[in-house]
Amino acid sequence: MKTRNCCFFLLLLVVTALAVWAGDGARTEPLTLQECIALAVKNNLNVATQVLNPELAGLAVGRAREKFIPGFTFSYRQQNTNSASYSWIDASEMMTTYYMNYSAGLDQSLPTGGKLSLTLENYKNDSNTRFQTINPRFGSTLSFNFTQPLLRGFGFKASRMEILLALNNRVISENEFKDTLLNTVYDVEQAYWNLVLAIETLKLREQSLELARDLLEKNRKEIAIGTLAPKEILSSEAEVAQRESDILQAGAAVKDSLDFLKTLINLPQEQDESEIIPSDKPSSEKKDISLDEALAAARANRPDLQSQRFDVKNKELDLSYARNQLLPRLDLNANTWSPGISGTRIIYQSNNPLTGVIIGTVPAGASNAMRDAMNFKYRNWSVYLTLEVPLNTFFSRAQVAQARVGLDQAALRLKYTEQQATLEIKTAVRAVQTDFQRVEASRVASDLSQKKLEAEEAKLRAGLTNNFVVLQYQRDLALARMAELRAIIDYNLSLARLDKSLGTSLETKNIKLRASD
């Protein structure tokens, strides 16, 4: 499985309605709003694109942490040299030297900014030079080296700078992805309720057409029996034609809304031709929320505010690091090493190498030198300080000034985002309250239009009015019902906008984000 499973947050959809779509055939059941949101979160191409950004940010964190993974080095060298002998003291004709060296080491960066290294070096030297007392000669050296910055580069913050920035950037990336989800959820809600509005508007248009046709049929019968003048039918016929035209427009609006919703949820190709029938009805229940509660919820949940806060943290890290780089470099260095040496001892006559007469040898191998080095037979150590004072730090403060300006800019962006969020929330809270009042008022207006039409129809049956007035009242009733429907849909969209403004849409729609370690 790809690295998405590591250092990456998982998207968990707690939506049981998604299981209804599991079949392979064309969709025939109605879809709830929750099902549409689940499908959009699962299939929407924009969401699929944005979900990769937190994965990339998680990989950046892993790459930054590699700084504290121990490093291993190994080297091997062989050398054979031959040169003419210019003195009988060196060699009789040609001086030959064979040299072999190999070493292995570990180095570890420390959270304090220092560095610790361990090295084991071994060599072998074999030469035909005269008057040697040990040949071949073996050597081993075990050494420990520790370097710790005391000014520039000192401290956990300076040494972990890249990791801290990567962690903050991952949080920013996750919040940006959350913001994408919030926008997607709201877009689906808007498309879903607009589709409901289009379908219900079409139904109202059909009902209005049915009323006009009924009146037209009644007029034809009255004309046939001579109780109504033939010219009275013209207004009824014109109204029927007009309402048939309205139905064509309403039908096109339904198809447009359906296509837009399908695009958002990105249906599979084999299901793209299926019809989506919204099964949820818009709610007209009152939701009370105070402005103070809304602002508190937004401060805790809005991903754009969270991203801006972590951007400020990044700029603070930049400024802290820039200030640290102005300090002189003062390093504490401590070394300890243990050498070991062995080899074949050459015994000369009278123990005098100048005689050149070898009477025996005492063999010894590389293991003896290694043993002496590992046992610290010869202990050595050194401690010293190094000071480096770059003159440019006295004359240039550009990096610090740049970091300070960046921090000021990030702080201003955060204040601006908070200001815009406050304005958006005030507008959203006010819209919820206003749209609920519109629902109440439009419901009363619709009921009154119904009663007015019934009264006018009764007057028409009594011969106290005419067709034109009844048709006008029918049109008024249709407009009142559509206004009521529009108010209810707007109220539901205002609630969705409020959830989006508060950053709580995912919680209210049972979409949970879980960060993996």
Residue boundaries of the structural domains of the chain: 3-63+162-317+401-514, 70-109+114-152+329-388
The CATH class that applies to domain 3-63+162-317+401-514 reads: mainly alpha
Residues 6+ apart with CB under 8 A from 276: 27, 31, 36, 195, 258, 261, 262
Choose among 239, 226, 204: nearest CA to 467. 239
Q: Is residue 239 pLDDT above 60, yes or no?
A: yes
What percent of the chain has a predicted confidence (pLDDT) above 90? 51
Instruction: Identify whether the C-beta of residue 299 lies closer than 8 Å to the C-beta of residue 419.
Output: no
Q: What is the pLDDT of residue 87?
A: 67
Asked if 233 contacts 316 with a C-beta cutoff of 8 angstroms, the reply is no
| Predicted local confidence at residue 231, as pLDDT | 75
Q: How confident is the model at residue 47 (pLDDT cuts 50, 70, 90)?
A: confident
> What does the alpha-carbon distance between residue 84 and residue 99 come to, in Å, rounded to a whole number?
18
Q: How many other C-beta atoms are found inside a 10 Å radius of the C-beta of residue 386? A: 10
Average confidence (pLDDT) over 47-70: 90
Which bin fits 321, alpha (ψ -120 to 50), beta or left (φ > 0)?
alpha
* pLDDT, position 141: 96
Which neighbouring-strand residues pair with 127?
Answer: 97
Beta bridge partners of 100: 78, 124
The model's confidence at residue 89, banded by pLDDT at 50, 70 and 90, is low
pLDDT of residue 72: 95
Segment of 207-216, 262-271, 291-300 carrying the highest mean pLDDT: 291-300
Question: How do residues 418-469 score in pLDDT, each as one tens digit?
Answer: 999 999 999 999 999 999 999 999 999 999 999 998 998 898 888 787 777 8
Q: What integer pLDDT is reported at residue 391 of this predicted model?
A: 77
- Residue 149, phi then psi, degrees to nearest 5: -65, 140
Nearest alpha-carbon partner for 369 in 343, 401, 395? 343
Mean pLDDT of 292-297: 92
Residue type, 11: L
pLDDT digits (tens, 9 = 90+) for 92-123: 678 888 999 999 999 999 999 999 999 999 99
Residue range 265-294, pLDDT digits in tens: 887 655 555 678 888 899 888 888 889 999
C-beta of residue 121 within 8 angstroms of C-beta of residue 101: yes
Tell me the pTM. Answer: 0.77
Q: In the structure encoding, which two tokens stand for residue 98, read together?
A: 């064979």
Average pLDDT, stretch 21-42? 69
Helices (H), 103-160: 156-159
Least confident interval from 27-41, 336-350, 416-430, 451-465: 27-41
- Does 349 score more than 90 pLDDT? no
Answer whether residue 411 shows pLDDT above 50.
Answer: yes
Cβ(127)–Cβ(96) below 8 Å: yes
Instruction: Give the chain's mean pLDDT.
Output: 85
Q: Is 418 within 8 Å of 305 (Cβ atoms)?
A: yes
Q: Averaged over 145-161, what is the pLDDT?
A: 92
**Does 5 or 315 have the greater pLDDT score?**
315
Among the residue ranges 66-70, 76-80, 350-354, the one predicted with the least confidence is: 350-354
Does position 412 have pLDDT exceeding 90, yes or no?
yes
Q: What is the mean pLDDT of residues 467-478?
A: 84
Q: CB 379: neighbour CB atoms within 10 A?
A: 9
Instruction: Name which residue leads in pLDDT, 18 or 376.
Output: 376
Q: Which range among 14-28, 129-143, 401-415 shows the weakest confidence by mean pLDDT?
A: 14-28
Q: Which of 151-155, 167-171, 264-268, 278-282 has the lowest mean pLDDT?
A: 264-268
The CA-atom distances, in angstroms, between 142 and each of 62, 69, 71, 339 are 33, 22, 17, 6
